[in-house]
Amino acid sequence: MKDLTEADKKAKAAEVDQAVKDANAAIEKVTKADVETATEVGKSAIDQVVKTAQDADKAAKLEREAQERAAAEQAERNRQRALDDAKRKAKKGIDNRAKAAASEITENQELTSQEKTKVKKEITKAANKAKKKVDQAKTTAEVDEAQDGIFNKGWIAAIVAAVIGSGVGFFGFWKKRNQDNDEDDAQ
């Protein structure tokens, strides 16, 4: 401002004075209603921010719940798929064991043709019973139990003994065998 003339300095000072007067006049013109309106606008803006935050929180909660539901549904699908696979494999294993047993019986020279037919019939019954239990299983552990419960060590010998020896059939023999095992376990 050192380059301004004295007249320019006075003119600028007058402009500043006028700006101050205008500002004071504007301040004096502000009414209580204007202050209340500004306050309401401010409150409304704050309320909107709060509502937006609450909406965002609700949306996040809904998204989290949806993700949890989707994860639970996926876990159930995976469990069911594993159970279905276990059932399919178990039934195939039962069929393979039954076929192998039937083949072994066919090749057995100690049994008569009639005995072979009876034994094969009992093998088929045992396989069908095992597959039915597999179908009814609700867990893979139940599938394993159904498969292994009938087809364990000595099952062919048990069928042959039941058909030839006692005439009570495989399941009668098996019931007696399990009772004997339970008595052994109790001792």
Q: What tens digit of pLDDT does each residue of 5-45 get? A: 777 667 767 777 777 677 777 667 776 677 677 677 666 76
What one-character DSSP code corresponds to residue 110?
S
Q: Quick check: 120 pLDDT over 50?
A: yes
Q: Quick check: 117 pLDDT over 70?
A: yes
Cα–Cα distance measured from residue 124 to residue 101, given in angstroms and rounded to the nearest whole number = 10
| Helix%, strand%, coil% for the chain, nearest 5 | 90, 0, 10
Among the listed residues 78, 93, 81, the one whose alpha carbon sits nearest the alpha carbon of residue 131: 93
HSE-up of residue 162 (Cα within 13 Å, Cβ side): 23
Q: Residue 111, Cβ neighbours under 10 Å: how many?
A: 17
pLDDT digits (tens, 9 = 90+) for 123-167: 888 888 888 989 999 999 999 888 776 666 556 666 766 666 644
Cα 18 to chain centroid distance, Å, stands at 77
